[in-house]
Copies of this chain bind each other. A is one copy, B any other.
Amino acid sequence: VLNSDLISKKFRDLQDAICSRLEAEGGGRFAEDAWTRPGGGGGRSRITGGSGFIEKGGVNFSEVFGETPAALRQELGSRAETFYATGVSLVLHPVNPHVPIVHMNVRYFETSGDSWWFGGGIDLTPHYVRPADAASFHKILKYTCDRFDLKFYPEFKSWADDYFFIPHRNETRGVGGIFFDRLNQKSGYSRQELFDFAYAVGEALIPCYLPLVRAHRDEPYSEEQREWQLLRRGRYVEFNLVHDRGTRFGLETRGRTESILMSLPPLARWEYDDRPQAGSAEERTLQYLKKGIDWTTKG
């Protein structure tokens, strides 16, 4: 029977599998940092950077539980006395500006009183948007969703458009992907079925992302393109610190700072009013950072 122990064990396997694949692909060696949470549980952070196509990246696994902190009760709108959460999250900042930043997260939540749900998502942040790359990325996500329910991709794609959005810049974080939360039995699916779906999203990271790495990791780039990459990473920092619910909630509840902020880039840049030149590749990228684009038709 699929209980939280088994879900957590499978998420640990997912972390192992992703790290192995990234290492085999030349992502550099992952160093593990295992930690325990004073209130219950712990995790293992795996960090890479500096020796492969990833300039800085992390793949975190965690399994935490115990008394529900007051801030968590408020966030959940629940009076549950105890909680349990397990998941995997990943952010990779590549060396080459032609390779996109990628993020993936899958998580399972349980509270006393028999409430449980899955959440997660995967989204792509190209420094330079290439519609054909965005198309291949979204097609794999659509295929992953369609295997479970034809309603999932349209719903979760649009959810990602809304979630990965930076209002003060009026820009999406990138070309989006899928995002879902609080997926439970009310969806009409069992815990086993929803776990299978969440796990499939986690597994989709490799086929979604590695083709883009292979296509662009050795592409030459100029100093100007590197500077643009650092500016786009600045936007990534803004999204994560100002808007990302997971990051803000983690910091507010005094989660493990190093693991939460693993998502931040190795180096980022801010310039006053950094507008790209008219007609440049950088300006074209900005024009693609909009909600509501059906990327599956762009390739």
Q: Which residues of A are at the interface with B, using a C-beta cutoff of 8 A? A: 33, 45, 47, 49, 56, 58, 167-169, 230, 234, 237-238, 241-242, 248, 251, 254, 257-258, 260-262, 264-273
Contacts and interface: CB of A to CB of B under 8 A. Distances in A.
B266 A267 contact: no
Contacts of A169: 257
A241 B230 contact: no
B270 A234 contact: no
A33 B264 contact: no
A34 to B, nearest CB: 13
A220 B237 CA distance: 31
Given A169-B257, A241-B237, A266 B266 contact: no
A45 B267 contact: no
A260 B169 CA distance: 12
Contact of A58 (B45, B269, B272): B272
B167 A264 contact: no
A70 to B, nearest CB: 15
Given A167-B254, A168-B257, A257-B169, A56 B241 contact: no
Contacts of A45: 272
Contacts of A33: 272-273
A258 to B, nearest CB: 5
Given A237-B241, A251-B242, A266 B257 contact: no
Given A234-B264, A241-B242, A265-B270, 11 more contacts: A47-B272, A56-B271, A167-B251, A167-B254, A168-B257, A168-B260, A237-B237, A242-B242, A258-B273, A261-B270, A267-B269
Contacts of A234: 264
